[in-house]
Structure 1
C-alpha cells in the first residue's frame, strides 16, 4: 500500500534540499537559452537585465537590475471644507461685480461656495485659489452670453463648473495642452489632424483678442478677424448681412431680472392661444422699462416732496411722473392718475385702455393731444393717458369702491385730459454707447444699457461694436475726409420703391436707373440695391383664369432679362428683394389683403431665372466661390440689413401703413394753437423733440407767437415717423386689422432703435426724416403717378 503525502507535510532531509537547490541552479542557468512566454516576459527591461547570476551554486534567481529612481511625488490632496456663502461674498463681489459688471444671485453664490470649498479646500484664501476660479467662471459666463445676472439654476453655470472641475488639480486650474489654456479659456483639443486644433466652449469667437474677451458678450457672425487689412475686408460689401425675420433671435424682457432673455422654445406658425397674451405682455414690458429710463419718470433724491403730481414744486424742481396700474384705481374716486396701456375696444363698442392688471373704459371727449396733432392714435397702440378716475354713480353715491367685471374690467370710467405717445429712446442710450453724435472714431461703449445683448445675431455692442465702428471709419468715412470732392464710393445703398414689373414703363425706368450706376468707374458702384414689392399691380395669384402662377413667373423672367444687361452691377453689388401683399404665395388666398406679419419671401420657383442670371455673370467674370461676385437675396417682410455688425442697422419694411392709420385713428378734441402748449405738457408726453432734431423742419421763429405752418407732406411724414418710432413696433394695430404671427412678433420690434429705416409706403408722400437719430426714408413708387417719363429712387451712403 502506497501512501501519498502532501508536499507541505512531507519531511525533507538534507539530501533532498541540496538536490532541489541544484535543480533551481540548473533552471537558472538555462533561463538565458529558453524563450519565455510573452505573457510572463518582463517588460521594459534595461540592457543590464540580461546579466546572469554570479552565484549559480547558491541558486540565486535572476532579477532585472534596475537603476535607482526617485519615488513619484504624491498627488496633492485637497481636503474639502464647508465654505459659507457669506464668507465668499466679498471676494465674489470684487470679481463679478466690480471687475466684470455681473450680478450674483444667492443661488449662484451658494453653488460657487460649494464648488470652491470642495475643490480648493482650506487654501482658497491664502493661496488665492478661489480668486482664480471666480475669474475663470465670470469670464466663461460672459463668453457664453449668459447675461448680466448670474443665476445658480441656469444650465450655463452648471456646465461651466462641470468643465472647470475636469481641468483642476490640487485646487489649481491646469494650464497647457491638457488643461485650460491661458490664452483661450475653456478650450478643448478636437483633433491633431484638423486645421483648427481648438474649439471654444463659449459663444465668443476665437478671433477676438483677450482684451475684448474680458469686457464683451455675444458672438459675431461676420467672420471678423484681428487684422482687417486683407483684401477681403477692404470691400464694405463684405460686412453686409441680410437677416430674415424668421431667423432673427427671439428675446423677451424679464421684469424681475430687468434684462432680456433669449427664447429657447421652438416657434410655430400655429401656437397656443396663450402666446398671444405673451406677445402683448412682452411688448408692454419693453415700453414700460423704456419709459422708466426716461428722465421725466425718474425720481430724484434731492427733489422736494411738496407740490402736485405734475409740473414744478415749490423749490422749482421738475417733478417726476408716476404710472398707476389700472387695478389700483379701485376705491380712488376723483383722484388724478397717469396710465400706460393699450387702446382696446370693448364688446359694447366703447373705447378702453388695458394694461397687465386690468381694463377701464375711457372718455376722450375732452382729451387733447400733446403736442398738438403730432401722432396717430389707433386701437392696438400703447399710449400714455393723464386724467381723473370716476366711479359709477350708483357706487359712488353709496360711498363704496368700484368693482371688476368680466375680463378684469374696472367699474366706472377714466376721464382723460391729455394723451400722448411714450417717449422714444435713442439707440446710443439703449446700447450704452457714449461720445458725441456723429463722431464715430471717438465712440466707446460704457456699462449702461443693453450693450451685452446680441439682438440680431451679428455680435453685441460690447463684443465687436467698438472694433466694427473703427473699421467703418477706416473704409467709409476716412476716404471721404481725405478727399471731400471725390465721387460717392462703395458705401452707397440704392433704394427703389414699389417696382411693379407687370408694367412695361416700370422696367424701362429700372433700365434708366441701373444704367446711371453702371456707368460709374470700377470700384465705385453701389454695394447694395434694394427693390421692394408689390411686384405686381394686382394679386395675380388670386385671379385664376389664364393668369396665375404662369403669368407671375413670366414677370420675373422679364425682370431677369432687364438685369442681364448690366453685368457690372451683377458682379459687384447685392440685390435685395422685399415682397409685398400682392406677391406669392400669400396673395393666392389673401387676394392682396393684409396678410400676417412677418411674411416669407417670394418662392424660388418664380425667381430661378434671376438667380441664374447672377450665376452666369459671375462665371463670365471669373468670380467663383460663395463670397465672390454679386448675389440676389430674396428676404422676408420685414427684414434687417446690418453693415459692420451692430454699427449700422437698417430695417426694410413694405406696408401702406399711412392709409391704415387714417382709417383706424381716434378723433380727438382740437386744442389751442401749438405755440400755447406749455413745457410741462411736452415733458409729460415726451413726444416731439425740438425742431432742430428734425432735418426737414424749418428753424423756429421766436419773433412770432404761432409756429410757422409747414407743408402737408412734411407734417404727414413727421406724424407717421413719430408714431412708429415711439411705439417701437411695426404693426401697432388690432389683430383683426393687421395680423401678426405671435411667436415671431419680436421681429417687428424697433428696439433698440435702428440707425435707418426703409418704409415703403405708397399711400404717403415720399420723404426723408430723422427722428431721435433714426433716419427714415420712404421712396414711394418707382413710377410717379400722373407724370410720364419720370422715375424716382433714393440712396443713402
Structure 2
C-alpha cells in the first residue's frame, strides 16, 4: 500500500476525510523520515487536526499545514522546566461530539466571568453528559457486540420514557441529578425531565450522596413516582481508558499540544527525578510567631536537599482583620520572604507556590478564584523570584504527573449536605474520595452551597482522573486511593492549629 493510501485510511479510521492535495503534502513531509516513524507522525498529525476549530470532516491542505506546525512546535518544547504551573482560567474544555461519539477539545474562546442564564443550564448539562457517557462506556452498561456472550448488563432509561409510561415499570435503572424541585420532596432529573423520587426503603451504596450529585437509581416506577430499591454513584472510568478515548491531546492544560503522558522526554525525565519532593502545608498562619519558628526549622531541614516545591495553602492569617486584612497579609508574606531569603539554596532551587484560602484578600469565594492581588504579593515577589501565586483550584504538571489542588472546606460541606450519611462514618475520607472521583468534579454541591462561575465550571472538572488531588480541607489528615488517583489532605489538629512537627 502506498503512503498516500495509508494516510487516507488512517484519517478514515478517525472519522475524517483528507483531500488529495492534503495527503500529498503530508507525504512530502514524511518522506525524509525513516519509514518506521511514519505511523507515529501520522497519528500526531491526526490528533493535531482534531484540535483545530474545523467545521467539516473534510480536511484541507491548509489544515494539514497548521497541524504539522503544531506537532513540530510541541516536539520542540523547552524541557528544562519540568514543573508547569497551569493558569486555571486557560484550562481546555472538553465537549462531547455527537457525530464522532467522543469527547473533544472545545474551540478556544474568550469566556465571560459572569455568564448568562443559558450558561447555568449548560453547566448542569455538561456535567450530566460527562457522567452519562462514562457510565455508558462501563462494562455493565455497554451494549454487547454481535455474537458476544450475553452477560448480565444494565440498560439506562431516560426520565422521559418513565413519564410516558402508563403502566408499572420494573427493574428500572436511571442516571440523574439528585435534587429537590419541591421542598421536602426529592426528584431525579436528567436532560429529558424530572421524576418524583421515593427513597423510603432504598439501600445506599458507598459514597457521600449530596444534593445536586449524580446517582444511579435502581427500582420500579408507578403512578409518576420512581421507588428506589438501591442508590449508588455512577462508576468511575480509569484514567488510561479515558485518555485512550480522547486521543493524544492536551486536555489538562499547560504547554504543548499533546498529552504529557505520551511525551517520551517527560517520561525519561520522570524516571531520572524519582527523588523529587513536594512539601504541602495548609492554613499557614504567618501572623503566629510559633508558625514562623517552625517554618524556619522546616527550611533548615530541607536546606541541603531542596524539594521541587513548597505549597502553602491559606488562610495566611489566623483571624480576619477586617479592613486591615490585605495590609496584614502583605506584611506577613513580606516577612516570610525575608525568612526564605536566609536560605539561598531553597530560594534558587525550589518553587514557593501560594494557594489563597477562603478568608484571604481577593474577590468573593466563587470558584475558580484568582490568585492573591498583586498589591498583597509584591513585597515577597521582590525577595523571592521563585514565588508563584496561583488560583484556587490550581493545576500543576510535574513531568507526566497531573496534580490538582483545591483549598476549600469541601469535606465538611459535603457531609452537611448529604441526603444519606454513611453508617461507617470512620471511613469518611474513602466515601469523600469516591464521590469526587465518580462525579468527575471537585464540587458536586448545590451552587448556593459552593458557588461556581457558570461559564468556568469546566475548570473544576476531573476528567480524566488526575494522578493526585490535594484537598486542603480544615480537618484531619488523610490519604486514600480511588481509581488510581491519590486523594490527600494535609494535617490539621481538631482545634484548627497546624501540627508543626
Question: What is aligned with 2:38?
Answer: none
Question: What is aligned with 2:312?
Answer: 531
The alpha-carbon distance between structure 1 residues 665 and 743, as it changes in their structure 2 partners (threshold 3 A), is: same
Question: What is aligned with 1:564?
Answer: 341
Residue 466 (structure 2) pairs with residue 757 (structure 1): no
Residue 230 (structure 2) pairs with residue 418 (structure 1): yes
How far residue 201 of structure 1 moved from its aligned partner, in angstroms, is 6.4
How far residue 427 of structure 1 moved from its aligned partner, in angstroms, is 1.3
1:434-493 alpha-carbon deviations (Å, 9 max, x no partner): xxxxxxxxxxxxxxx21322111434556871404531354124xxxxxxxxxxx4x111
Counterpart Cα distance in 2 of 1:561 and 1:730:
35
The one of 226, 232, 242 aligned to 1:430: 242
How far residue 277 of structure 1 moved from its aligned partner, in angstroms, is 1.1
Counterpart Cα distance in 2 of 1:787 and 1:242:
29
Counterpart Cα distance in 2 of 1:451 and 1:274:
30
Question: What is aligned with 2:360?
Answer: 583
Cα pair 1:759 1:776 within 8 Å, conserved:
yes
**Higher normalized strand content (fraction of residues):** 2
Q: Tell me the SS of whatever aligns to 1:745.
A: helix
The alpha-carbon distance between structure 1 residues 381 and 576, as it changes in their structure 2 partners (threshold 3 A), is: same
The alpha-carbon distance between structure 1 residues 505 and 351, as it changes in their structure 2 partners (threshold 3 A), is: same
Question: What is aligned with 2:209?
Answer: 377
The alpha-carbon distance between structure 1 residues 785 and 514, as it changes in their structure 2 partners (threshold 3 A), is: farther
The alpha-carbon distance between structure 1 residues 663 and 151, as it changes in their structure 2 partners (threshold 3 A), is: same
Counterpart Cα distance in 2 of 1:150 and 1:272:
24
The alpha-carbon distance between structure 1 residues 552 and 730, as it changes in their structure 2 partners (threshold 3 A), is: same
Question: What is aligned with 2:139?
Answer: 295
Q: How does 1:157-176 map to 2 (within 5 A)?
A: 157=59, 160-161=60-61, 163=62
How far residue 610 of structure 1 moved from its aligned partner, in angstroms, is 0.9
Q: Tell me the SS of whatever aligns to 1:205.
A: helix
Residue 500 (structure 2) pairs with residue 500 (structure 1): no
Question: What is aligned with 1:517?
Answer: 302
Q: How large is the RMSD of aligned CA atoms in angstroms?
A: 3.2
The alpha-carbon distance between structure 1 residues 468 and 548, as it changes in their structure 2 partners (threshold 3 A), is: same
Question: What is aligned with 1:281?
Answer: 125
How far residue 716 of structure 1 moved from its aligned partner, in angstroms, is 1.5
Q: Tell me the SS of whatever aligns to 2:218.
A: strand
Cα pair 1:101 1:148 within 8 Å, conserved:
no
Question: What is aligned with 2:415?
Answer: 662
1:629-665 alpha-carbon deviations (Å, 9 max, x no partner): xx01100000110012xx2101011111111112111
The one of 586, 600, 612 aligned to 2:370: 600
Cα pair 2:415 2:421 within 8 Å, conserved:
no
The alpha-carbon distance between structure 1 residues 100 and 536, as it changes in their structure 2 partners (threshold 3 A), is: farther
Q: How does 1:2-151 map to 2 (within 5 A)?
A: 94-98=6-10, 101-104=13-16, 108=17, 112=19, 116=20, 132=24, 135=27, 142=45, 145-147=48-50
Counterpart Cα distance in 1 of 2:156 and 2:497:
54
Listed as ranges, the gaps of 5+ residues in structure 2 are: 30-40
1:159-205 alpha-carbon deviations (Å, 9 max, x no partner): x43x49xxxxxxxxxxxxxxxxxxxx849xxxxxxxxxxxx863223
The alpha-carbon distance between structure 1 residues 136 and 757, as it changes in their structure 2 partners (threshold 3 A), is: farther
Residue 474 (structure 2) pairs with residue 773 (structure 1): no
Counterpart Cα distance in 1 of 2:228 and 2:356:
41
Q: How does 1:80-479 map to 2 (within 5 A)?
A: 94-98=6-10, 101-104=13-16, 108=17, 112=19, 116=20, 132=24, 135=27, 142=45, 145-147=48-50, 153=56, 157=59, 160-161=60-61, 163=62, 186=65, 202-206=69-73, 208=75, 222-224=77-79, 233=80, 238-259=81-102, 260-301=104-145, 318-329=151-162, 330-336=164-170, 337-370=172-205, 374-391=206-223, 412-432=224-244, 449-455=245-251, 456-459=253-256, 465-477=262-274
Question: What is aligned with 2:329?
Answer: 552
- Which gives a bigger RCO, structure 1 or 2 (Cα 8 Å, sep 6+)? 2
1:705-731 alpha-carbon deviations (Å, 9 max, x no partner): xxxx8xx65x12111111111111011
Counterpart Cα distance in 2 of 1:556 and 1:501:
7
How far residue 561 of structure 1 moved from its aligned partner, in angstroms, is 2.6
Counterpart Cα distance in 2 of 1:748 and 1:529:
23
Counterpart Cα distance in 2 of 1:502 and 1:462:
42
Cα pair 1:652 1:759 within 8 Å, conserved:
yes
Q: Tell me the SS of whatever aligns to 2:48.
A: coil
The alpha-carbon distance between structure 1 residues 149 and 207, as it changes in their structure 2 partners (threshold 3 A), is: closer
1:222-252 alpha-carbon deviations (Å, 9 max, x no partner): 424xxxxxxxx4xxxx211011211212232
Question: What is aligned with 2:500?
Answer: 791
Counterpart Cα distance in 1 of 2:498 and 2:142:
56
Cα pair 1:494 1:526 within 8 Å, conserved:
yes
Cα pair 1:140 1:202 within 8 Å, conserved:
no
The alpha-carbon distance between structure 1 residues 271 and 389, as it changes in their structure 2 partners (threshold 3 A), is: same
Question: Number of paired residues?
Answer: 485
The alpha-carbon distance between structure 1 residues 639 and 462, as it changes in their structure 2 partners (threshold 3 A), is: closer
How far residue 134 of structure 1 moved from its aligned partner, in angstroms, is 7.2
Cα pair 1:534 1:583 within 8 Å, conserved:
yes
The alpha-carbon distance between structure 1 residues 352 and 421, as it changes in their structure 2 partners (threshold 3 A), is: same
Counterpart Cα distance in 2 of 1:581 and 1:786:
18
The alpha-carbon distance between structure 1 residues 103 and 496, as it changes in their structure 2 partners (threshold 3 A), is: same
Instruction: Return the TM-score normalized by structure 2.
Output: 0.87
Counterpart Cα distance in 2 of 1:150 and 1:606:
39
Q: Tell me the SS of whatever aligns to 1:597.
A: coil
Question: What is aligned with 1:641?
Answer: 396
The alpha-carbon distance between structure 1 residues 258 and 458, as it changes in their structure 2 partners (threshold 3 A), is: farther
Counterpart Cα distance in 1 of 2:89 and 2:53:
29
How far residue 143 of structure 1 moved from its aligned partner, in angstroms, is 6.4
Q: Tell me the SS of whatever aligns to 1:286.
A: helix
Counterpart Cα distance in 1 of 2:325 and 2:495:
29
Counterpart Cα distance in 2 of 1:789 and 1:151:
52
The alpha-carbon distance between structure 1 residues 136 and 92, as it changes in their structure 2 partners (threshold 3 A), is: same
1:82-131 alpha-carbon deviations (Å, 9 max, x no partner): xxxxxxxx999853344784212xxx57xx3xxx5xx8xxxxxxxxxx96
Question: What is aligned with 2:34?
Answer: none
Cα pair 1:102 1:148 within 8 Å, conserved:
no
Counterpart Cα distance in 2 of 1:148 and 1:599:
27
1:135-178 alpha-carbon deviations (Å, 9 max, x no partner): 57995992672329997637x94xx43x49xxxxxxxxxxxxxx
Q: Tell me the SS of whatever aligns to 1:666.
A: strand
Question: What is aligned with 1:695?
Answer: none
Counterpart Cα distance in 1 of 2:334 and 2:260:
44
Q: How does 1:600-749 map to 2 (within 5 A)?
A: 600-615=370-385, 631-644=386-399, 647-667=400-420, 713=426, 715-749=427-461
